[in-house]
């Protein structure tokens, strides 16, 4: 993701004004269509927060602060794994935007990035330069990533031509632009059975070490990393907290309560725009059906809630019903994601939430 795009998204517009029951009943069909459009646009860019995600963000926030404040020693990283569409990338975008706002300010201009003044040696002389201030860089690895491709991702994210990757040190660029958090998504794209893939991993480890000397935090994420050979590298596991985000489920009472709390929080967000909805619209009336239709995957849940809400406004019912839920097509989930419950044999994880586990760094390098 380009740093300028993350900057714009960090300052999201407010939601549409809520409507009262009398206003909803009196609204004409064209007016409902306009209001539904406004709500859809808002929800398309809205993040459905939850207790699960807040716990992870708090954990990562403390890690970022500790790394920035620690004077010496190796900085720790975080690796977030779990099945596809469990909400890993969505969560990390929120972490990225929160850190961005912390450094830029809550009143940043979405249309223009701030600039910082630093010194760069050009033609044997120190000269002041004014690069854009990009406190967070969010990179998504490409298929069969190599050292060259990774460096190109950095320079392109900072809005340079990728040819710059052959002329300037990626580390120097990160420091010049004031990067304090580097998020590297899709770590599973590394192919460690090939030489170029192993070289790319070695390069990533070197980048992590170099950035750590400046108190900069690196967070990795990827799908199903518990089965990826990257987690067998003691230089990775020896400095990384491994967080696993799983889909919501109903296998235990704690998990059921966590699922209902998520739905209640989501319902509280939507009800101001659905004035005929009851207070238990989602978490009391529809929890089992929504779970069955989404598999507890974040992407599927957000899609369902968004489309069902818009449909309820358009048809004038102003409350999400079973019919609205069933009308949203279900996402196709692969059989191995549904049934795979393989866990790495390691130290027992510490639970942050019924759908989250954390494994601390393996300081002795044991796998």
Helical pair 298-314 and 88-104, crossing angle rounded to 10 deg: 80
Return d(Cα 244, Cα 209) in angstroms, integer: 23
Residue 182 forms part of a structural domain: yes
Return d(Cα 53, Cα 333) in angstroms, integer: 22
- The confidence score (pLDDT) of residue 162 equals 82
- Same domain (yes/no): 270, 150: no
- Same domain (yes/no): 11, 84: no
Helix (H) or strand (E) holding 238: none
Q: Half-sphere exposure of 2 toward its Cβ, with a 13 Å CA cutoff?
A: 10
Q: Which among 95, 49, 73, 136 is positioned nearest to 243, based on CA atoms?
A: 95
13 secondary structure, DSSP code:
P
- Same domain (yes/no): 105, 233: yes
Q: What is the pLDDT along the chain (367 residues), one digit of tens a residue?
A: 777 777 777 777 788 999 999 999 999 999 999 999 999 999 988 889 999 999 999 999 999 999 999 877 778 999 999 988 888 999 999 999 899 888 888 666 666 777 766 665 555 555 555 678 889 999 999 988 999 999 999 999 998 888 888 888 888 889 989 999 999 999 999 999 889 999 999 999 999 999 999 999 999 999 999 889 999 998 888 889 999 998 999 999 999 999 999 999 999 999 999 999 999 999 999 999 999 999 999 989 999 999 999 999 999 999 999 999 999 988 665 334 444 544 444 444 455 677 777 878 866 544 4
Q: How far is CA 271 from CA 42, 117, 169, 264, 277, in A?
A: 14, 46, 51, 10, 6
- The confidence score (pLDDT) of residue 337 equals 47
- Same domain (yes/no): 154, 293: no
- Same domain (yes/no): 293, 168: no
Residue 21 forms part of a structural domain: yes
Query: How long a stretch of residues is the chain?
Result: 367
- Same domain (yes/no): 22, 70: no
Return d(Cα 235, Cα 361) in angstroms, integer: 10
Q: Which among 346, 325, 276, 312 is positioned nearest to 36, based on CA atoms?
A: 312
Give one DSSP letter per residue of 287-340, joined into a string: HHHHHHHHTT-HHHHHHHHHHHHHHHHHTT--S--HHHHHHSPPPP--HHHHH-
- Same domain (yes/no): 68, 177: yes
- Same domain (yes/no): 143, 174: yes
- Same domain (yes/no): 263, 348: no
Where b means 16+ CB within 10 Å and e means fewer, 57-84 reads: bebbeebbeebeeeeeeebbbbbbbbbe
Those residues whose C-beta lies under 8 Å from the C-beta of residue 323, and which sit 6 or more positions away, are none
Return d(Cα 295, Cα 38) in angstroms, integer: 28
- The confidence score (pLDDT) of residue 237 equals 85
- Number of folded domains that form the chain: 2
- The confidence score (pLDDT) of residue 138 equals 94
- Same domain (yes/no): 89, 136: yes
pTM over 0.85: no
- The confidence score (pLDDT) of residue 167 equals 83
Residues 119 and 130: beta-carbon distance below 8 Å? no
Residue 367 forms part of a structural domain: no
Residues linked to residue 127 through DSSP beta bridges, in sequence order: 120
Residue 239 forms part of a structural domain: yes
Residue 365 forms part of a structural domain: no
Residue 164 forms part of a structural domain: yes
CATH number at residue 108: 3.40.50.300
- Same domain (yes/no): 123, 264: no
Residue 364 forms part of a structural domain: no
Integer distance in angstroms from the first to the last C-alpha of the chain?
33
Return d(Cα 198, Cα 125) in angstroms, integer: 37
- The confidence score (pLDDT) of residue 124 equals 57
Task: Give the domain range for residue 229.
Answer: 51-246+342-359
- Same domain (yes/no): 221, 138: yes
- The confidence score (pLDDT) of residue 351 equals 59
């Amino acid at each position: 993701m380009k740093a300028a795009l993350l900057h714009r998204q960090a300052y999201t517009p407010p939601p549409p004004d809520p409507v009262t029951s009398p206003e909803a009943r009196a609204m004409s069909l064209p007016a409902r269509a306009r209001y539904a459009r406004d709500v859809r646009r808002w929800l398309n860019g809205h993040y459905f927060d939850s207790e699960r995600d807040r716990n992870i963000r708090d954990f990562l926030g403390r890690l970022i602060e500790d790394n920035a404040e620690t004077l010496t020693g190796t900085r720790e990283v975080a690796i977030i794994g779990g099945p596809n569409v469990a909400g890993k990338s969505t969560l990390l975008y929120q972490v990225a935007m929160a850190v961005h706002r912390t450094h830029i300010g809550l009143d940043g201009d979405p249309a223009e990035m701030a600039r910082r003044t630093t010194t760069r040696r050009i033609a044997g002389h120190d000269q002041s330069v004014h690069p854009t201030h990009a406190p967070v860089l969010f990179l998504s690895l490409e298929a069969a990533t190599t050292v060259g491709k990774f460096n190109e991702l950095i320079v392109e994210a900072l809005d340079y031509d990728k040819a710059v990757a052959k002329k300037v040190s990626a580390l120097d660029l990160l420091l010049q632009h004031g990067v304090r958090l580097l998020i590297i998504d899709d770590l599973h794209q590394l192919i460690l059975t090939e030489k170029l893939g192993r070289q790319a991993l070695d390069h990533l480890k070197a980048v992590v070490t170099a950035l750590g000397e400046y108190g900069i935090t690196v967070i990795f994420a990827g799908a199903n990393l518990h089965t990826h050979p990257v987690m067998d590298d003691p230089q990775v596991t020896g400095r990384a907290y491994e967080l696993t985000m799983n889909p919501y489920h109903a296998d235990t009472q704690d998990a059921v309560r966590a699922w209902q709390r998520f739905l209640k929080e989501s319902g509280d967000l939507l009800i101001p725009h659905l004035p005929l909805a009851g207070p238990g619209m989602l978490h009391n009336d529809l929890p089992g059906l929504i779970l069955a239709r989404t598999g507890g995957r974040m992407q599927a849940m957000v899609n369902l809630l968004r489309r069902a809400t818009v449909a309820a406004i358009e048809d004038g019912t102003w409350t999400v019903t079973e019919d609205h839920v069933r009308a949203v097509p279900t996402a196709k989930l692969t059989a191995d994601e549904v049934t795979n419950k393989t866990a790495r044999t390691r130290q027992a994880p510490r639970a942050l939430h019924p759908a989250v586990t954390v494994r601390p760094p393996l300081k002795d390098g044991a796998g």
